[in-house]
């Protein structure tokens, strides 16, 4: 298994994007993505064109849609769902998510804490979060400047709060890619752990929760328990393990790059602990948890210490 650079939230001229499906895929190829999901607002009209272009250019295109409802947005990946966005209401949203999942799709809560009405109506998640706990993924980072600002902090806090309660939601980034972005503002990647970049393997990796999000730092992170290695997203039976972490800069990251790392933050339901780490260094640190353990990588970027990468969780107890 290896980690593939993916973008799971994109748009084309079939909704309010500025690129045609072919242009989006060509741009994704230029930007080094192994896979993208096309998630136009409330339509899949561009999907087959994008898939075809992806086959030509060697970029996997995952079939998707963004349910763009009045009360919140969801990216739905897999291309199987028969749920009509107009039918989703605050009362039935959990059933609609479950319906899409039962047909094989993966549902992410998109940019939940972004400003909504009157600037971007529906962009802020107004649904009762208790109705969304069945979703697979949570966009902890979104759009430009993903690791900065109030919305990013609030999303991270809400995701941690869900994990603390034992709710297992995979962390993803959503570029919410609408424009060509020749000189992009600060942005991030979602890396997905999979056996290959084929659509079915990327979806399997998402379903397993094998992801991390990053602003320009490649993270190698696994748990080791009783001589056995566990990837991000795995359930570790005993909840006691060594976390192995090493990082390197993403060579072709086009926005501000981190100068150096400062620390790795090990977060469990018991609290937060920091361990020093530098680029190129491999560290091992113990973690004991009953519910979850995530790793945050901090470093110096734009003249301050920033959170540069976040892994999805390792879990303890039960099954995924």
Partner 1 sequence: MQTILEGQYILTRKDQSTHYKIPFNVPEDAKKMLVSVAYDPKYNYDEEYGLDLIEKSMLKQAGEPLMSKGEMRACLPLDNHLSFSIDSPCGVVGTAHRGNNVQNFTISAESADGGFYPTEIKKGEWTFTVSVTCIITDTITVSLKIEVEV
Which pair of tokens denotes residue 289? Answer: 């948890």
For the bound state, the minimum distance from the C-beta of residue 121 to partner 1, rounded and expressed in Å, comes to 4
Answer yes or no whether residue 154 interacts with partner 1 by CB under 8 A. yes
Stretch that binds partner 1, among 10-18, 202-210, 266-274, 284-292 (CB under 8 A): 10-18
- CB-nearer residue toward partner 1: 118 or 227: 118
Answer yes or no whether residue 145 interacts with partner 1 by CB under 8 A. no
Answer yes or no whether residue 85 interacts with partner 1 by CB under 8 A. yes
Answer yes or no whether residue 91 interacts with partner 1 by CB under 8 A. no
Q: Kindly give the pairing relationship between strand 217-225 and strand 292-301.
A: unpaired
- CB-nearer residue toward partner 1: 16 or 30: 16
- CB-nearer residue toward partner 1: 60 or 68: 68
Using the rule CB under 8 A, which residue among 21, 72, 122, 146 binds partner 1?
A: 122
Using the rule CB under 8 A, which residue among 5, 9, 111, 124 binds partner 1?
A: 124
- CB-nearer residue toward partner 1: 95 or 148: 148
Answer yes or no whether residue 83 interacts with partner 1 by CB under 8 A. no
Answer yes or no whether residue 132 interacts with partner 1 by CB under 8 A. no
Answer yes or no whether residue 121 interacts with partner 1 by CB under 8 A. yes
- CB-nearer residue toward partner 1: 82 or 130: 82
Using the rule CB under 8 A, which residue among 21, 64, 79, 116 binds partner 1?
A: 116
For the bound state, the minimum distance from the C-beta of residue 173 to partner 1, rounded and expressed in Å, comes to 19
Query: Pick from 218, 315, 304, 201: which is nearest to 259 by CA?
Result: 304
Interface with partner 1 (CB under 8 A)? 14-16, 40-43, 45, 68, 70-71, 84-86, 113, 115-119, 121-122, 124, 126, 149-151, 154
């Amino acid at each position: 298994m290896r980690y593939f650079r993916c973008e799971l939230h994109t748009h084309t001229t079939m909704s309010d994007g500025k690129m045609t499906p072919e242009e989006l895929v060509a741009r994704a190829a230029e930007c080094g993505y192994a896979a993208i999901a096309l998630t136009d607002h409330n339509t899949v009209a561009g999907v087959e064109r994008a898939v075809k272009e992806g086959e030509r250019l060697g970029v996997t295109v995952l079939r998707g849609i963004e349910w763009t409802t009045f009360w919140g947005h969801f990216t739905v990946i897999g291309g199987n769902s028969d749920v009509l966005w107009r039918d989703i209401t605050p009362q039935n949203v959990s059933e609609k998510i479950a319906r899409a999942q039962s047909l094989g799709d993966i549902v992410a809560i998109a940019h939940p804490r972004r400003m909504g009405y009157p600037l971007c109506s529906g962009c802020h998640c107004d649904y009762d979060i208790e109705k969304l706990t069945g979703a697979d993924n949570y966009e902890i980072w979104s759009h430009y400047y993903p690791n900065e600002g109030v919305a990013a902090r609030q999303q991270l806090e809400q995701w941690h709060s869900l994990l603390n309660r034992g709710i297992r939601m995979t962390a993803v980034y959503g570029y919410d890619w609408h424009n060509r972005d020749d000189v992009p503002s600060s942005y991030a990647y979602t890396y997905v752990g999979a056996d290959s970049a084929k659509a079915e393997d990327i979806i399997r990796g998402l379903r397993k929760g094998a992801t991390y999000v990053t602003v320009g730092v490649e993270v190698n992170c696994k748990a080791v328990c009783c001589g056995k290695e566990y990837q991000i997203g795995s359930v570790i039976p005993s909840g006691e393990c060594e976390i192995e972490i090493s990082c390197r800069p993403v060579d072709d990251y086009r926005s501000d790059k981190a100068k150096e790392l400062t620390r790795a933050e090990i977060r469990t339901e018991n609290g937060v602990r920091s361990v020093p780490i530098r680029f190129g260094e491999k560290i091992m640190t113990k973690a004991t948890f009953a519910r979850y353990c995530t790793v945050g990588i901090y470093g110096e970027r734009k003249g301050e210490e920033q959170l540069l990468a976040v892994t999805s969780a390792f879990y303890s107890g039960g099954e995924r």
